[in-house]
């Protein structure tokens, strides 16, 4: 009986571990999912308020991704998203949190990073994607796969998670309206979001 019970417990432990992984990791890109990011930004905000330290939220969206998918098919689009995630993960510090936010949108939590440094990181992510070779990148409207990036800094652009995410998103859409393939920090002129 004990041996049988140990076998059942071992199988149950494997299933629990698999469920925990499914709850925290994006199945396509193998990076943390939005649920993990939401929890992390909540904790980081509390820490920022208590200890008065800097961090930035960076929103990244793949430019003309619908065109990529429609032209090359969804499997190719999936491979492109996997590569975007991989390139960004390699360009970030291990202390930063990269997560898939949804669709072709990613979000980064840059810990202990002020606005100036956050913009530099955002620009380095943009350049890393632009410089990468993608399977069908040459067929994109800009002749390569590119991203638009928006940055918001804790304490400078807001304090709460939803405010910071909204401001980073507004900056992202300003980058798209400005011609794509650019990284911008939020400014009050951007208030109002996507058009």
59, with CB counted inside 10 A (0-12, 13-18, 19+), is buried
Among 42, 104, 123, 189, which one carries the catalytic annotation? 104
Instruction: State the Cα angle at 40 between 37 and 46, rounded to 5°.
Output: 140
Run of H or E including 151: strand 147-153
Q: Are 117 and 153 in contact (CB under 8 A)?
A: no
User: How far, in Å, CA of 171 to CA of 193, rounded?
Assistant: 8
Catalytic-residue membership of 104: yes
- Active site (catalytic) residues: 104
């Amino acid at each position: 009986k004990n041996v049988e019970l140990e076998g059942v417990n071992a199988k149950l432990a494997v299933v629990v571990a698999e469920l925990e992984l499914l709850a925290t990791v994006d199945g396509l890109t193998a990076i943390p999912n939005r649920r993990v990011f939401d929890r992390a930004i909540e904790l980081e905000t509390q820490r920022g308020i208590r200890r008065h330290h800097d961090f930035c939220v960076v929103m990244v969206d793949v430019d003309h991704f619908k065109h990529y998918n429609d032209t090359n098919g969804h499997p190719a689009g999936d491979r492109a998203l996997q590569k975007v995630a991989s390139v960004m993960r390699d360009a970030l510090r291990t202390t930063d949190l990269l997560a898939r936010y949804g669709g072709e949108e990613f979000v980064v939590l840059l810990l202990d990073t002020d606005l100036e440094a956050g913009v530099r990181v955002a620009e380095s992510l943009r350049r890393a994607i632009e410089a990468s070779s993608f399977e069908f990148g040459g067929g994109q409207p800009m002749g390569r796969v590119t991203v638009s990036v928006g940055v918001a800094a804790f304490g400078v652009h807001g304090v709460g998670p939803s405010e910071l995410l909204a401001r980073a998103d507004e900056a992202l859409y300003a980058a798209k309206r400005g011609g794509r393939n650019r990284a911008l920090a939020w400014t009050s002129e951007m208030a109002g979001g996507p058009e």
